Chain A
Amino acid sequence: MSGALPDHAAAARRRRPAGRAAFAVGLAAVTMLAAACSSKGDDDSSAPASSGSAPAPAAVETGRGISGNTLTLGLLNDLTGFFAASGKDLALAYDLFWEDYNAQGGICGQYTVELESADHGYNPQNAVTQYAEMKDDVVALQMLLGSPMAAALSEDLIADDMVAIPLAWSQSLTDNPNIATVGSTYDVESINGLDYLLEEGIIDEGVKIGHIFHDSEYGQNANAGVRYWAEQTGSTVVNQPISALQADLSSPVTALKGEGVQLIVITGTPAQTAALITATETQDLRVPILGNGPTYTPDLLNGDARDGLLTRFHFAGPNAGLDSEDAADALAAYRESQGADAIPTPAFSTGFATATVMAEILEAACAAGDLTPAGVVAAKKSLDALDTGGRTGVLDLATPGISPTKQSFIAKPDADSPVRAVTVAELYEGPHATTYTRSS
């Protein structure tokens, strides 16, 4: 307590200097003694999991994150922040996927996968703290949600030999050789979306595009794709950067109407998609709208944006939708746990795609006989044409700095579909996506 201070200060002043010195020496001695008695270092040194004691018939080398027959993967999720809706469905997808995988024998036919999860609420600081807490217990990060969090941890991932699957698709993440991006990056995604609309005759070359995007890595990466496509097709782009929290898009829409745009691309949140659609209805700017990234959730169909969504909206994403045959079982499992009428968000299928890729990486490491962190990193870097059976494009995880695939999925809202969306083009690679190379 502060009040105690002056008393002490005065007491100290009264003391003779020699007394003060003796006091300090005594203090130091007691501290040393206290320190010397610690046993903390002893148990720290034996940190790597005791692979020797575990039955390991297949002679696989193991290390951090594997103890006995249990292999732990980390999830850095957002269950309370901007992307909580997606976060919940992703968490459920991972639970279901790994439960199933474990039932079939697990990784390497012997390791049961457990998940260690933390909720960072879309705050990079939390994510960094939670990562530090979890890193010694996990083999790899099954999930790292959010571009800012991935950026904050980027160098740690390399230092710790940690393979991570980000739930973010910006091109710059692919520079990190330990990051496995599952699907096409935002720029490629937007090019594919535009190519598809062109192919379907919804737009023509030389069109005037309005692009509303988050002024962030997410939006700017998509914007790079839109601008490339416009250059190639003689089109023009009007940029409207917005903030992640902007709920009212009437001003950007007014500006785009003034410019006479014939198509609007949005790189934002689902709520902003709804805001965009209602604003365009209000202002009578009924042009086609293309979303990329997490711009659509089924519950948008319950709001005012419904008609606009059903008639004018397409969205491009990195993974297969939930309307595929492959996803039928997953959907059934989802409904079993969430209620018979529950409709998953598109993130649910992303969960399966990313879990599949993680399983493939771990199995590759197992095949090479090395499930240590370094072994897992090496396995990730060895996969140059990973086929997930159509859950996402064929991935080149070996080459850093490029979009791992040029294939995207194009879908549109559909009120009659059990998942409120239909995929209109699977594994779609447009002609301009093929020619696109990163402009840096």
Chain B
Amino acid sequence: MSTFLSLLINGVAQGAVYALIALGFVIIFKVSEVLNFAHGSLLLLGGYVIARLVPETGFAAAVAIGIAGVAALSVAMERTLFARVTRSGAVVGPAYLAALTIMTLGLDIIIVTDISRRLGPSVLSLEQPWGIDAVSLGPVTIATNRLLALGVGVVLILAFFAVFRFSDWGVALRACAEDPQTAALMGIRRGRVSAIAWLIAGALAAVAVVFLTGSPTPGLEASVRTVAFAAFPAAIIGGLDSTSGALAGGLIVGIVESLASGYANELSFLGGNFGAAVPYVVMLLILLVRPAGLFGTRELTRV
């Protein structure tokens, strides 16, 4: 029982990190209908910047610079690349979305190649001050890092909900997502809304990587980026255009992954590394029943 509880709590904490990453996908998707494949490389970049700065500036400053840097780069990407294509109007229709999505792939390839080259095979530590401390909750022991991830994740997501609901930007974003033309007519500057969305997504990625590379994982490796692949199904399960869905999806993926990995021996009839494939299996099953995810908006077209 305590094994199950441990796995569950660990999964929830890991799920909070996935939710942060998934939220990044969702925000950008809402404003531009682009799935940002470069998100994983932003994680990697943020981690790399922080790890390199930590020895000189200390943890807090390094994290602050890392978050600011990734957020700035994210906005820069939006301004110089995506906004250009959008503005030029050179591409329209489904080809437009495909082209933008594929452009994020191009960015991902370049950033990942470059950071992996710099990183080489080494594992860098972000020197989180909480190190490998752990907290015991009754029969369950959990890494402080995980607990903090859960706390920070919940706080950030709640804060985002508040911003999303009450701030001008949040209203503008929802208006843009709902009906871009009308929003434009109402004087909402879509470019600004979109830039802020990219800014937030980049910052969330940099926050997530601090916890992703903390205990009990050994630190920053080039493969950290692949975690974004677990956050894809999280975003889809919840519904790509649903912010609360990102939270739900993140938690589901975190828990399922943790359980599948913990009970790997019992699940061995499903083949070895079932834990790696299970988020996608769950996602495919959910999509079969709900094609727009759990909380996504269903497009209603009847002919």
Task: Using CB atoms and an 8 Å cutoff, list the residues of chain A in contact with chain B.
Answer: 82-85, 215, 238-243, 245-255, 257-258, 271-272, 274-275, 278-279, 281-284, 299-300, 302-305
Contacts and interface: CB of A to CB of B under 8 A. Distances in A.
B261 A246 contact: yes
A197 to B, nearest CB: 22
Given A245-B223, A254-B7, A278-B215, A304 B265 contact: no
Contact of A251 (B125, B132, B215, B275): B275
Contacts of B125: 302-304
A249 B276 CA distance: 12
B264 A252 contact: yes
Given A241-B272, A278-B215, 7 more contacts: A215-B271, A246-B275, A247-B224, A251-B262, A254-B7, A272-B218, A282-B141
Contacts of B275: 242-243, 246, 251
Given A255-B263, A271-B221, A250 B216 contact: yes
Given A215-B272, A247-B221, A257 B3 contact: yes
Main DSSP-derived SS at the B contact region = mixed
Given A240-B265, A250-B10, A282-B141, A215 B273 contact: yes
B128 to A, nearest CB: 9
B268 A274 contact: no
Contact of A283 (B141, B219, B261, B263): B141
B14 interface: yes
Contact of A278 (B216, B271, B273): B216
Question: Which 5 A-B pairs have CB atoms at the shortest separation, nearest pair first?
Answer: A215-B272, A258-B3, A274-B218, A251-B261, A243-B273
A215 B272 CA distance: 6
A251 B265 contact: no
A302 B219 CA distance: 11
6 contacts: A251-B11, A251-B257, A254-B10, A275-B218, A282-B132, A282-B134
Contact of B7 (A84, A255, A284, A305): A255
Interface residues of B, number: 43
Contacts of B7: 251, 254-255
A282 B7 CA distance: 13
Contacts of A254: 3, 6-7, 10, 262
Given A258-B3, A304-B132, A238 B122 contact: no
Contacts of A281: 132, 134
Interface of B: 2-3, 6-7, 10-11, 14, 120-123, 125, 131-132, 134, 136, 141-143, 146, 215-219, 221, 223-224, 226, 257-259, 261-265, 268, 271-273, 275-276
Nearest to B272: A215
A239 B263 CA distance: 10
Query: Which one of A238, A253, A257, A271 has the highest number of Cβ atoms from chain B below 10 Å of its Cβ?
Result: A271
A438 to B, nearest CB: 22
Contact of B265 (A239, A299, A302, A305): A239
B231 to A, nearest CB: 14
B134 A284 contact: yes
Contacts of A272: 218
A242 B273 contact: yes
Nearest to A249: B216
A284 B216 CA distance: 12
A255 B221 contact: no
Contact of A84 (B14, B120, B136, B142): B120
B287 to A, nearest CB: 24
Nearest to A279: B216
Contacts of A243: 272-273, 275-276
A249 B6 CA distance: 13
Query: Which one of B7, B215, B216, B219 has the highest number of Cβ atoms from chain A below 10 Å of its Cβ?
Result: B216
A281 B141 CA distance: 10
B121 A241 contact: no
A227 to B, nearest CB: 13
Contacts of B146: 250
